[in-house]
Amino acid sequence: MKRQTLIALSAAVILAGCGGSATNQNAQQTASNTVQQGNTSAQPSNSTPAQPSVVVDGLPRQLDNGKIKAAADQLFADADTMQNVTLQSIMILKGGNVVYEHWANGGSPNIPHVMHSVSKSFCATAVGMAVDDGKIKVTDHLIDFFPDQLPAKISSNLRAITVKDLLTMNCGHETEVQIDRNFSGKPVDWVEAFLAHPVTKKPGTWYCYNSIGTYMLSAIVQKVTGEKVLDYLMPRLFEPLGIEKPKWEESPQHINCGGWGLYLKTEDMAKFGQLFLQKGVWKGKRLISEAWVDEASKFQVPSVPAGTRPDEVEKKGLTTDNCAWLLGYGYQMWRCPENSYRADGARGQYIIVCPDKDAVIAVTADSPDLQKELSNVYKYLFPVL
């Protein structure tokens, strides 16, 4: 398949520096020219830079003509021959510089792409900022935020759900809450639907992938700040990162969906990953506490793919070798091999943060086979970073 690499370079030279889960989840879901992004003293260890570091739309470029480019080009070439894998863009940052960027198959550097469940990691970041602002704590109980929307009978398990349980997909549901996301029938209050859903397991003991749980986090942020998550994040995250006019879908109750519905460009994704790589600091200013970055990105709970129960893993023959969603979950982020972690969305949207490699990989795609896509990203890119 014919592809065209779109690379835009400015003349200004500066010294500057991972909703869904498994295949069955596909239905879910500039800055200044003097930016100091991070540590740029180290060159990519396995690469031959072809260009000096330059700034384009906020991120400095130091484009690679060596092993990174060869590996990423091969990744695209192989994906073009695979069934159910369609890569639309990849951007790789190393030492804070863009060392590779490519768009294909309808992808564009200037057109926002649907994030699907990558949205979850942005919603969780809003929660983290509200925690940093002292507006909420992860130990706060869910029912205390919505006293007027509770069911007539409040079970002990429902009463026990905390913000942390929502962040870790451990709220005690055995099945995901289902709502009409297409607004085709009578509008349902999504908060009430979540609170009415049976909580059959003790919160904190049972993993169940639950996009409406992330919506509840969005509703909590809106409740305690008086702003939608999108509006709350604008001056705190999007504007500092130079992310222009982000769009986020809403519920009938005018609450951002949280778990899905965010639209961003590939470079926006890469900036978010670089912010986490830099422990929450951007251009010398702290946007998120280092403590939150550490908590959000570390292993918090065991995980399973969306649509799979924890007690079905063995029966389905799933292992950490054949399933990327078994390596653990943080706060709306998945753990990856080699001490990496990722934001993860249906149809193959990824922001992979690799602290040990000082690297970030941003991917957009339209791939039904998420495992195949992600396995090839690891296979081709991890060894050369």
Report how far residue 17's alpha carbon sits from residue 58's, in angstroms, rounded to the nearest whole number: 11
Helix (H, G, I), strand (E, B) or coil at 135: coil
- Count CB-CB contacts under 10 A for residue 204: 15
**Mean pLDDT in order along the chain per 10 residues (385 residues):** 38 33 38 31 36 58 94 96 95 98 96 98 98 98 98 97 98 92 78 97 97 98 98 98 96 97 98 98 97 98 96 96 97 98 97 98 96 96 97
* pTM of the predicted protein model: 0.86
Q: May I ask the CATH class of domain 23-132+222-384?
A: alpha beta
Distance of alpha carbon 232 from alpha carbon 224, whole angstroms = 11
Closest CA to 385 of 88, 103, 79, 64: 64
For 113, 119, 162, 306, 327, the CA distances from 247, given in Å and listed in that order, are: 10, 11, 28, 25, 31
pLDDT at res. 124: 98
Q: Is 201 exposed, middle or buried (0-12, 13-18, 19+ CB in 10 A)?
A: middle
**In the chain, what are the domain boundaries?**
23-132+222-384
**Inter-residue contact 10 to 35 (CB < 8 Å):** no
Using an 8 Å Cβ cutoff, are 292 and 265 in contact? Answer: no
Classify strands 113-114 and 262-264 as parallel, antiparallel or unpaired. Answer: antiparallel
Model pLDDT, residue 51: 43
By the 8 A CB rule, do 218 and 166 touch?
no
Handedness of CA 308, 338, 262, 253 (dihedral sign): positive
Provide the CA 206 distance to its chain's centre, in angstroms. 22
- pLDDT value for 5: 39
Q: 73: part of which helix (H) or strand (E)? A: helix 67-79
The reported pLDDT for the residue numbered 216 is 98
